[in-house]
Amino acid sequence: MGGLPLQNASPAPVVSQVSVITNSTKESKPKKKICCACPETKKLRDECIVEHGEAACAKWIEAHRLCLRAEGFNI
């Protein structure tokens, strides 16, 4: 068997490369534009504000903010 000796193989660089990839994925930008993210909560928020005013729609406004944060936006 003329392959590379197993003693020279080191798993440490592979582990560090995987953790770097994982960290960069978490810190990456959102995949969508903010105007296109969370259309369901955006629609409910907007309809509520038009019909009842901003002060009466805090629940829907906060729901939309939470959705945007879950999508990766920092708001």
> What φ, ψ does residue 74 adopt, rounded to 5°?
-100, 85
Q: Which stretch, 16-25, 30-39, 42-51, has highest mean pLDDT?
A: 42-51
Q: What is the pLDDT of residues 4-16, one digit of tens each?
A: 555 555 454 444 4
Q: What angle do CA 31, 27, 61 make, to 5 degrees?
A: 60
Q: What is the pLDDT of residues 29-45, one digit of tens each?
A: 778 899 999 999 999 99
Q: Give the max Cα distance, the chain.
A: 78
- The residue behind tokens 């105007």 is 35
Reduce the DSSP state of residue 68 to 3 states and report it.
helix
Count of helices and strands (H, E) across the chain: 3, 0
